[in-house]
Amino acid sequence: MQRSAAVLITVIAFALIGLVLAAGGAWLAVLGGSIFYIVLGFGILVTSGLLQAGSRAALWVFAVVLLVTLGWALHEVGFDWWPLAARGDVIFPMALWLLTPWVVRGLLRDRATSYAGATAPLWVAVAISSVVLVVGLFSHDHDTDGTVAATSADVPQSEADPQPDGDWQAYGRTQFGQRYSPLKQITAENAKHLQVAWTFRTGDEATPNDSGETTFEVTPIKVRDTLYLCSQHQVLFAIDAKTGRKRWSYDPKLQFNKTFQHMTCRGVSYHETSAGAVDSSGKPAPADCPRRIFLPVNDGRMIAVDADSGRPCDSFGDHGTLNLQDGLGVTTAGFFEPTSPPVVSDRILVVAAAVIDNYSTEVPSGVVRGFDVYTGKLIWAWDSGAADENALPSPDKHYTISSPNSWITASYDPKLNLVYLPMGNHGPDIWGGNRDPLAERYASSLVALDINTGKRAWSYQTVHHDLWDMDLPSQPSLVDLATAKGVVPAILQPTKTGNLFVLDRRNGELIVPAPERAVPQGAAPGDRTAPTQPFSELTFRPDALLTGADMWGATIFDQLLCRIQFHQLRYEGTFTPPSLQGTLVFPGNLGMFEWGGIAVDPVRQIAIANPMSMPFVSKLIPRGPNNPTAPNAEHPTGSEIGVQPMYGAPFGVDLHAFLSPVSVPCLRPPWGTMAAIDLKTMKVIWQHPSGTIRDIAPLPVPITLGIPMLGGPLTTAGGVAFYTGWYEYAIRAFDVRTGRVLWEASLPAGAQSTPMTYEIEGRQYVVTAAGGHGSFGTRRGDYVIAYALKE
């Protein structure tokens, strides 16, 4: 019997698909993975052979193939829609193709068998599969449903920075880092009526000299009737809070190039001179700049600017500027980068900075310094890697090279007079064979210092001998909690591992237990591992180890390749050491929590969080011709992702997200969620996948997937939380009671930032910066957008 063209094409296509799946399945099986892909490939090859022979049994065999695939998928992932769909998104359309008249008639040519008789088994298999897929589409496997209590917890709170309810005078509104506003004009009932109130364009967009990490991450502050914010290139703007019109701007003329590992400004700080204030020498505070803005600049400067005029404060530092490179030992441009706003007390300006990651064992000191807030005079230094932590530099002595730094904004309790530093690591991050006990003692730790003297009050280490860049990524949040011992002033520290450490901020004692647990061993040659790590009992980190069934892909083909990659990598759970083989790091280097932190409602005693689950791969690279021990020239990569040289260490390292060949995550979704934590019970109340595929799919379909996210949440007394940081161009309002989306609006660019809110002339505004993120890959822009209820 002569075959039709449709049947011939189908024979070839099925044979190719079957061969690919069978061969890939054999590779996977050799690595210790599932043998199902061999079975599937064999079934498709048999179908192709029967089609070649002109046998209608091909339809019956493929009915079995479809049902067996369905059974395997249900066994591995249940009714979880996205991984279920990925297992059937090729096989199911193949079944539908076999049911088309062109194929069936080609098989039944010159035969008396009816279409219905020949196709009935396959139609039954398709119908069963369709029912399962529909059920999966409406399943909620990853939702935790709960409701926050309607009444307040009535726990008395310590006072942070005194300010009007309508202001937002610090990065986290106050230096408690809560990202909570007492404003309540916007509620769950009326949030649907939010609309754009004004839009401001900074005019500061991408330049040819930008590094890959050029990002618009700013959270504006609001004082009286003015917003203050900095752009990617640290241009400072003062904006009318009601209209969004520019009042003035100040350009620090940042000196930068493509090698800068960061090009961002997360915010600025504000200080107001009080009556009778004196400087560190006892003299009356300078008359200039009674209200000043402190601007961190990525080339290693801190600039004080008059809040009213935008002119530098002549009495501060060198005509308004501090050179933060003094005493660092290594002063290469872009190696020491202040990216986050400093802490400000009535007397002291506390300055820390990012230090280049994974470039070399010889990088600038991570020293944290306290300066006179009026004059810029150095008052104290805290050098985490020095034997004498508070030793000051001299003409022949600099701060400790490569000592752990603190790159994100710290928090401050004015009553306890303590500043709380989330610490980074001794460089490089991924190899620690060169670290001595002094380099290790405060790495990846939360450290409390006396703000007037820089003397350490206490410290708590969240990761021992950190080989994964699991430093503390976000500003800690201060809140007073009701405990069995009464009301305790607490500090909450989110981490990249998904653990939230809850401590008494007076002494560093744990409130939520964090027992030490044994972790995987077997470090790279010349390195070592800590035998145990602390695991907080308040965590978003999944306890179960990842398996091949957790691998995902846009199709069954790249899902198979993800499974192969998974089995090729070393993975024994959290804290599996980096390796020459390549290690799967989960939670990944980007972190379950990043610089956006959490939002804490001290009245309801809840925290709003946006944990993210994205594995990374960390592969050590031996030295060789293309990976020299020392640089031939100063050439940092300008990114934290990709091949990092780690000069001075025995290896370089390749760091990248664990992605399929078509650049979708190999871990099945959801990757991003929104959640609420009950701070009375330390339990998750609700958690839901968040973010849709509208802006990343071929068709703009707003189907919730739970997409990658980067930024922080805002919460309010009105019972509404806001978030913008998805790999999607949107701002959404959430009901804090349930996590239900109340309102959303599209944004013109990526908003990997943390929104803020304020009130002026009786109207509440919510503001977000939308300018995109270089390495995250979102659309760039220069937008600052304010929303308010319809008037």
HSE at residue 138, side-chain half, CA atoms within 13 A, is 5
Taking 3-state DSSP, the helix, strand and coil percentages for the chain, each rounded to the nearest 5, stand at 15, 30, 55
Token pair 């009356």 is at which residue? 284
Between CA 301 and CA 299 the distance in angstroms is: 6
Nearest of 360, 357, 472 to residue 410 by alpha carbon = 472
Q: Name the β-bridge partners of 451.
A: none
Between CA 384 and CA 368 the distance in angstroms is: 8
The token duo for 126 is: 């398709």
Amino acid 781 reads G
Do the Cβ atoms of 615 and 671 come closer than 8 Å?
no
Using CA of residue 622, residue 628, residue 634, residue 635, what is the dihedral sign? Answer: negative
Find the length of the chain.
791
Do the Cβ atoms of 739 and 765 come closer than 8 Å?
no
Instruction: Characterize 330-348 residue by residue with b for buried, 16 or more Cβ atoms within 10 angstroms of its Cβ, and e for exposed.
Output: bebbbbbbbbbbbbbbebb
474 alpha carbon, distance to own chain's centre: 10
The token duo for 188 is: 């769950």
Between CA 257 and CA 201 the distance in angstroms is: 24
Token pair 């909450």 is at which residue? 492
Between CA 118 and CA 465 the distance in angstroms is: 65
Between CA 85 and CA 64 the distance in angstroms is: 18
Backbone angle region of 324, left / alpha / beta, with phi > 0 → left and psi within -120 to 50 → alpha: alpha
Do the Cβ atoms of 313 and 291 come closer than 8 Å?
no
Do the Cβ atoms of 373 and 341 come closer than 8 Å?
no
Q: What is the dihedral of CA 702, 706, 708, 712, to 10 degrees?
A: 100
Q: Is 700 exposed, middle or buried (0-12, 13-18, 19+ CB in 10 A)?
A: exposed
Instruction: Characterize 218-235 residue by residue with b for buried, 16 or more Cβ atoms within 10 angstroms of its Cβ, and e for exposed.
Output: bbbbbbeebbbbbbbbbb
Amino acid 140 reads H
Angle formed by the axes of helices 91-98 and 115-137, nearest 10°: 150
Token pair 């709380």 is at which residue? 420
Q: Edge to edge, what strands does the sheet with 616-622 contain? A: 583-585, 616-622, 651-657, 642-644
HSE at residue 624, side-chain half, CA atoms within 13 A, is 5
Between CA 442 and CA 163 the distance in angstroms is: 34
Q: What secondary structure does DSSP assign to 396-453, as a single string?
A: TB-PPTT-----S--EEETTTTEEEEE---SSSSS--TT--HHHHTTTTEEEEEETTT
Between CA 252 and CA 273 the distance in angstroms is: 24
HSE at residue 557, side-chain half, CA atoms within 13 A, is 8
Angle formed by the axes of helices 36-52 and 57-77, nearest 10°: 170
SS3 for 118?
A: helix
Task: Check residue 775 and report its DSSP letter.
Answer: T
Q: Which residues are catalytic?
A: 469
Between CA 545 and CA 541 the distance in angstroms is: 10
Strand 714-716 vs strand 180-181: parallel, antiparallel, or unpaired?
parallel
